[in-house]
A and B are shown apart, each in its own frame.
Chain A
Amino acid sequence: MILIDKLCYQSGLRYVNAAEKFVYAVLSLVFCIASSSAVVAFLVFLTNGILTVGKGRIPLSHYIKLLLVPAVFLLLGTVAILIEFSRVPMDAFAFQIGRWYLTGSRESLIHVCRLWITALSAVSCLYFLSLNTTMTDILEVLRKMRLPALLIELMMLIYRFIFLLLETASAIMTAQESRLGNRDYRTKIRSFGAMASALFVQSIRRSNALYDALESRCYDGTIRVLSQEQPVKKKEIMWIVLFESLLLLITIWSIIG
C-alpha cells in the first residue's frame, strides 16, 4: 500500500486529468468482466501494462511484483476448479494414484485460463488507476460523482492519518527494540500490547488536537476544500473513446458469436 502510494506520486501519468483515468479504468474493468472474452481481457491487460510501465514509468519489477499478489490467490482458487479426483481419467491430463486419477478436463482447463486472464486484467485496471492517480485526486473524482460528503471526508482523514499512525507505531517499535523489547516471544507479545495501547492514547490526543486546529480555522462540520485539477485533453479523450468502443465491439461480437 505504501509502495503504491510512493509510486503514484512519481508516475508520468500523475498529471493527466483524474476523471479521464477513472473512466478509462472503470469502463475497461466492466468490459473485462461483462464480456468474459479472453480477447478483451488480453487487450486490456496489455494496454494497462504499456500505459503503467511505459507512460507512467512505473518500474517493471514493481509492477510484476504487484501483479503477483493476486496471482497467488488465483492459483489457490483455480486449483480446485482444475483438478478433480475421479475413477475415470479426463481429456486434459490424468495422473494415476492407485485406482483413482488426479485429473482435469480440457473444458475446465480453458475455463481456468480464461479466469486467469480476466482476473489479472481486471486487477491491472485497478493498478492502473492506483499507480497513476494520487488518493486525493481519486477522492476528488468521487466527490464529483456525488458520493456522500461524510464518506469522502472520512477517507480523506484516514488517508492523511494512516501514515502518521504507521510512523508513530514504527517509532514506538524502534524504541522498544532498542530496550530489548522483543527479546523472546513473551516480551514480544507484551511489547506489542504496550504499543497498541500507546497508539490508542496518542490517537485520541491527536484527534482532540486536530479538532481544535480545525475549529480555529472556522470548521463548521463540513470540510470544504479546493483542489488543483488537470485540464481534460481532447487527444486523451479521443484515445479513450476509441479504445472503449473497440472493447464494446468485441464484447458484443463475443456475446452474439
Chain B
Amino acid sequence: MKQNNEWVIEAEHLSYAYDGNEKPALDDLNLKIRRGQKVAFMGGNGSGKSTFFLCLNGIRRPGKGRVLIDGTPIAYTRKGLLDVRRRVGIVFQEPDDQLFSASVYQEISFGILNLGADEETARNKVEQVIRELGISSFQDRPAHALSGGQKKLVAIADILVMDPEVMILDEPAASLDPKHTKIVRKIVEKLTERGITVLMATHDMDYAFGWADEIVLMHEGRVLKKGMPLEVCADRKVLEKTNLEMPAVLRLYEKMKEKGMVSSQGEVPRTMEELERRLL
C-alpha cells in the first residue's frame, strides 16, 4: 500500500441519494484532504456531512463518482472494505447507536479482533487504549450506567483501538457537558500529534476557527467553500448562506483593530487567549 500519498482522501464527483428522496444527499461533491490535517466540516443539518462520512469508509456506496483512500479507489469487495474500514474510522454522533455491548472491555475489543489480531495483542491494545483515554475509572460499569461523556470516550476508544489513519468524529461535542467537551478536545489534539488525520463535523464556529487547519462548508450535498479558517470566515456571503456566524474572536479583533486597541502586526488571533495576549 502506498503511504506517501499527499492526499489521504479524495472524493471525485460524489453523488448519493437515499431511497425515496428526490433531493440527493450528496450532489457531485469534490474534495481532497491532506494527510495529517485537522479538518472541520460545517453546515446545517441535512447538508450531507454524515452521508459523506459514511461514504468515506464504504458504508454507503456512492451512486456516482468515487472515493480514493491513499490514492487507491475503494474496492467494494469484502477485502477492500475491510482495508478501508481499518484505515478510516468513524466515531458516530450518538454513542448509543454505536455501543453494542454492556461491557466496556468487550465493546472496545470488538474492532481489533475483527482485524484478525490474536488474543494477546488485542488485550494489550485494548488495555493501552483504556489507560490512554482514562476509561479505567469507569470500565467496570455497564454501558447503561455510563454518562453521555463516558459513553463518548468509549466510542472513541472503539475506533482508536483499530489504529486508523483517518479518524472521523461526527459532532463529538453534541450533548456533552463542558468537562467532557474539554476531555474530548484534548484527545483530538493527541490524535493529531500522532499523525492521524482528523475530520470533525461541528456547529461550533469558535472552536473550528481555533482548531482546524481547514474548514469545509457544506451546503445541499456540495462543498460550498473549503479553505483555511481565515479564508472561509472572511467570506461573509457563504457564512450567511449556511447560517453561520463569524467567529467571535475574529469579529472582536477587527473591531479592536479599528479602534487601535490591539496591534495589527502579526497573524490574526484564532482563539480568545491569543487575542488577550495581543491587547495593547
Task: Specify whether A and B are partners.
Answer: yes
**A residues whose Cβ falls under 8 Å from a Cβ of B:** 5, 9, 134-136, 156-157, 159-160, 163-164, 167, 206, 209-210, 212-220, 223-228
Minimum CB–CB distance from A226 to chain B (whole Å) comes to: 4
Expressed in whole angstroms, the Cα–Cα distance for A223 and B102 within the complex equals 13
A226–B106 CB distance below 8 A: yes
Minimum CB–CB distance from B46 to chain A (whole Å) comes to: 16
B142–A226 CB distance below 8 A: no
Taking CB atoms, residues of chain B closer than 8 Å to A157 are: 100
Taking chain A's interface residues, is the majority helix, strand, or loop, or is none over half, making it mixed?
A: helix
B3-11, B82-90, B211-219, B250-258: which lies at the interface: B82-90
A218–B97 CB distance below 8 A: no
- Contact (A210, B100) CB under 8 Å given A136-B142, A216-B57, A216-B85: yes
- Contact (A225, B59) CB under 8 Å given A9-B141, A156-B101, A217-B159: no
- Contact (A225, B54) CB under 8 Å given A136-B142, A217-B158: no
- Contact (A225, B144) CB under 8 Å given A157-B100, A209-B92: no
Expressed in whole angstroms, the Cα–Cα distance for A225 and B108 within the complex equals 8
Does B150 interact with chain A (Cβ within 8 Å)? no
Does B143 interact with chain A (Cβ within 8 Å)? yes
Q: How many residues of B contact A (CB 8 A)?
A: 42
A136–B145 CB distance below 8 A: no
**B61-111 residues at the A interface, CB under 8 angstroms:** 78, 81-82, 85-86, 89-90, 92, 94, 96-103, 105-107, 109-111
Does B115 interact with chain A (Cβ within 8 Å)? yes
Minimum CB–CB distance from B54 to chain A (whole Å) comes to: 7
Expressed in whole angstroms, the Cα–Cα distance for A210 and B96 within the complex equals 8
Taking CB atoms, residues of chain B closer than 8 Å to A135 are: 102, 142
Within the complex, which residue of B102, B109, B119 is in contact with A160, where a contact is CB–CB below 8 Å?
Answer: B102
A224–B114 CB distance below 8 A: yes
A223–B94 CB distance below 8 A: no
Q: Which of B82, B86, B90 has the most chain A CB atoms inside 10 A of its CB?
A: B90
Does B126 interact with chain A (Cβ within 8 Å)? yes
Minimum CB–CB distance from B110 to chain A (whole Å) comes to: 5
B92–A136 CB distance below 8 A: no
Expressed in whole angstroms, the Cα–Cα distance for A216 and B86 within the complex equals 9
- Contact (A214, B100) CB under 8 Å given A226-B106, A226-B113: yes
Does B122 interact with chain A (Cβ within 8 Å)? yes
11 additional A-B pairs beyond A224-B113, A226-B105, beta carbons within 8 Å, are A9-B141, A9-B142, A136-B101, A160-B102, A206-B96, A210-B100, A216-B54, A216-B89, A225-B103, A225-B110, A227-B103
Minimum CB–CB distance from B115 to chain A (whole Å) comes to: 6
Within the complex, which residue of A164, A217, A228 is in contact with B114, where a contact is CB–CB below 8 Å?
Answer: A217
Taking CB atoms, residues of chain A closer than 8 Å to B159 are: 217
The residue in chain A whose Cβ has the minimal distance to the Cβ of B86 is A218
Q: Number of A-B pairs whose CB atoms are under 8 Å?
A: 102
Does B13 interact with chain A (Cβ within 8 Å)? no
B126–A226 CB distance below 8 A: yes
Minimum CB–CB distance from B114 to chain A (whole Å) comes to: 4
A218–B115 CB distance below 8 A: yes
Expressed in whole angstroms, the Cα–Cα distance for A220 and B82 within the complex equals 9
Minimum CB–CB distance from A217 to chain B (whole Å) comes to: 4
Does B123 interact with chain A (Cβ within 8 Å)? yes
The residue in chain A whose Cβ has the minimal distance to the Cβ of B103 is A136
Expressed in whole angstroms, the Cα–Cα distance for A223 and B109 within the complex equals 10
Minimum CB–CB distance from A160 to chain B (whole Å) comes to: 5
A225–B98 CB distance below 8 A: no
Expressed in whole angstroms, the Cα–Cα distance for A160 and B145 within the complex equals 11
Minimum CB–CB distance from B64 to chain A (whole Å) comes to: 21
Q: Which of A5, A163, A228 has the most chain B CB atoms inside 10 A of its CB?
A: A228
Taking CB atoms, residues of chain A closer than 8 Å to B106 are: 136, 225-227
Within the complex, which residue of A5, A206, A225 is in contact with B113, where a contact is CB–CB below 8 Å?
Answer: A225
The residue in chain A whose Cβ has the minimal distance to the Cβ of B159 is A217
Minimum CB–CB distance from B144 to chain A (whole Å) comes to: 4
Expressed in whole angstroms, the Cα–Cα distance for A160 and B123 within the complex equals 22
Taking CB atoms, residues of chain A closer than 8 Å to B81 are: 218
Does B162 interact with chain A (Cβ within 8 Å)? yes
Q: Which of A9, A212, A214, A227 has the most chain B CB atoms inside 10 A of its CB?
A: A212
Taking CB atoms, residues of chain B closer than 8 Å to A160 are: 99-102, 143-144
B119–A226 CB distance below 8 A: yes
B110–A223 CB distance below 8 A: yes
B144–A226 CB distance below 8 A: no
- Contact (A219, B109) CB under 8 Å given A134-B142, A214-B100: no
A206–B97 CB distance below 8 A: yes
- Contact (A9, B145) CB under 8 Å given A216-B85, A217-B162, A218-B86: yes
Expressed in whole angstroms, the Cα–Cα distance for A167 and B82 within the complex equals 34
- Contact (A226, B123) CB under 8 Å given A160-B101, A160-B102, A164-B144: yes
